[in-house]
Every structure is written in C-alpha cells, then in structure tokens.
Chains A and B, each alone.
Chain A
C-alpha cells in the first residue's frame, strides 16, 4: 500500500502545530522580549498552513519545485522580520528546525508498522525542512545586509556636513576613512555648497580621518584641485602629527596645498586672505 505522506500530515495539522509550539516554548532560545507568544503562534500557524497547503506527494521529492514558491515567500518574510527585530541566526534556525521534530514525530505515530516506509518518508520531510532552513538563512543574512547597507548610507549622508563659518568661508569636517565613493560625496557636497554660498574659501578638516595613505592623499589632492577649479581656495586643516609623519614617509607631495595644523589656524589664515581682522572690543 502506498502511503500518502502529504495527506497524513494534512490530516494531523492541528497536532503538528501543537507539537511545534510545545517544542518552541520549551526551547531556551524563545525570546519573549522580542515577540509575544501570541505573535509566535500566529507566525507558526501561518507557516504550517502554507506548508501543508503546498505539500502534495508529487512535489515532496523535489524541493526546488516551483509549487513551493508561496511557502518560500512566507518563510522569507518571517526570516526578514526576525532579522530586523534582532534575533540571532541560531534562534531563527531553531524556529524552523523544531518544525522538523514535530513533523517526524507525527509521521512516526502514523507509520508505526513499516520502518522502511517511515525511513523513506522521514528522509523526504527532512530534506524539505533542510531546504527551508537554507532559505531562512539566506534571507536572514540578506536582511542583515540590508540593515548594514542602510546604516552605511546613513553614515555617509550625515558624516559630510558643510558648515558656513563666516561669510564666504565654508568648512567641512571629514569623519571616518576616505574611500573613493566617499570622496565623491565629499567633493560634490563641498562644491555644491561653494556655489550656493558663493564662498571663496573652503576648509577641509581631516582631524576625524584615522589614517592617511597615498590613496586618501590622492583623494584630498583631487578635492583641493576641484575647489580651485571652481575659483575657491581650499585649505586642509586638522593634520595630526602621526599623519604628517606618514605623509612625509610615503613621499606624498602636498606642497601645492595650504595645510594648517588646526581649524583655528586655518580660519586665521582665511581671515588674512579676506583681509579680515578679529579684534578685542575695547571696554571703556
């Protein structure tokens, strides 16, 4: 007699869900702080429903079958939301793999007297759940990567502010490493601001740049050249002693660029270029 695994599982849906919930609730990886039990039940129920709906004997053999598409979709959305909520990979993995226990236990109860058949069906179910696990991890990592990408964008956006320090003087503190994509952003923002404020002097403060190698220096020189082409002068300030050392050791030629040790001295130099003077007011 040919056994219909899908039918058996569909029939015992309620029991599977109960078993699965029990498995999850006893597990130490249950995170009540991240998700309430009710939510977890809803999530689990949704997954079991879709799994049993899409399951029929034809496709149980082939885990890549297109009929599993809706199941993968549900799983992906669950995995993604878990990644964003801050679950660890182990917790998300356990969530899916504990379903295997529930399914196998149910199968064991149903197919009691035919060990060979039981083994065969168990292998199939096992394979299916393994494939679900892989999908879960793929999406989980993708979700995490999205978070990282978003944060990178945010950092890039907020880390290049252009400050108007005086009429005709803008300053831009650079924080973090300068790579080519960031230099592009820095350059664009700085030049745009120079046009907007019609400033004739730009100060590039690099006290927040951890290290300057020949590539970073190249980027700095490019930025200075571009500002000069726009018709503004560019001063580089905030050069720490260690950076001065590396620049000289690497043999980078910064002689064509005005460099100052601090933002204050750069500002002083800018004032002298604009023939401005800062004086103490005389108190009578």
Chain B
C-alpha cells in the first residue's frame, strides 16, 4: 500500500506529495498527518503539492480538512507550490481554501511558518516571564 512520508523538521512536519493523489491515499494522509501532529506536537505543517497536476473537489476538501484539523491541534498549515492549473481548477470548483495559508515554494513556506512560530514563541516567553 502506498504511503506518503511525513518528515519532521524542527518544529514542523513536511509532506511532499510526489504522486497523483487518489481518494484512499488522501484519506490515509489525512489520518496519518493528524496522528503525527498530535504525536510530535508540531507547530506547523508544510504540504508541498508542486508535483500534483490534477485535483478534484474531494482533494480540495481533504486539503481544507487537514488545515482545519491541524488548526484544532494548534499547528498552522501552509500549502506550497501549487500549479497554476490546479489553482484555477480549485477556484472554478468553488474551493478557494479560505482557511489555508499558501506560499510559492517550500523556502517561502518555511519562512512563513518560522515567522509564525517566532511570534508564538515570544508570546509563550512573555507568559513565562509573567508567571515568574
């Protein structure tokens, strides 16, 4: 059975989707990813879909679901490297993925997540200092 590897890099989880997702695989990814987020208490999830050239409404919904679930587990989701054709398709399908953050490539996605986490860290630090 195919599996999409989930890599842990620092505080983030990274998923690079290199194959065209079929429904079963997408559902597995959703379940695995949520498990991984809760296990590693990751602060961010980066999904690279630069190799995905075909999406349907189901895929769009799965991506939205992952973002929503991660958010509940206190992790930001960034989708990076979307192909123009994929973006147009999603918009035409009426799935603008409102709750999902996006970036042009992995590098920029990392930057975005790091910025987020820095802010969160600073807040946490502020909380600690007030406790002392």
Contact = CB atoms under 8 A, between A and B. Distances in A.
Q: Do A and B come from one complex?
A: yes
A274 interface: no
B99 to A, nearest CB: 12
Nearest to B101: A231
Size bracket, chain B contacts? 20 to 34
A127 interface: no
A232 interface: yes
17 contacts: A184-B88, A187-B88, A194-B104, A198-B108, A200-B108, A226-B88, A226-B90, A229-B90, A229-B96, A229-B97, A229-B102, A230-B82, A230-B87, A230-B104, A231-B81, A231-B102, A231-B103
B92 A222 contact: yes
Contacts of B91: 222, 225-226, 229
Given A187-B88, A191-B88, A228 B102 contact: yes
Contacts, number: 57
A191 B84 contact: yes
B62 to A, nearest CB: 15
Contact of B82 (A184, A192, A198, A231): A231
Interface in B41-77: none
Nearest to A184: B88
B28 to A, nearest CB: 24
A260 B36 CA distance: 42
Given A231-B80, A231-B103, A188 B88 contact: yes
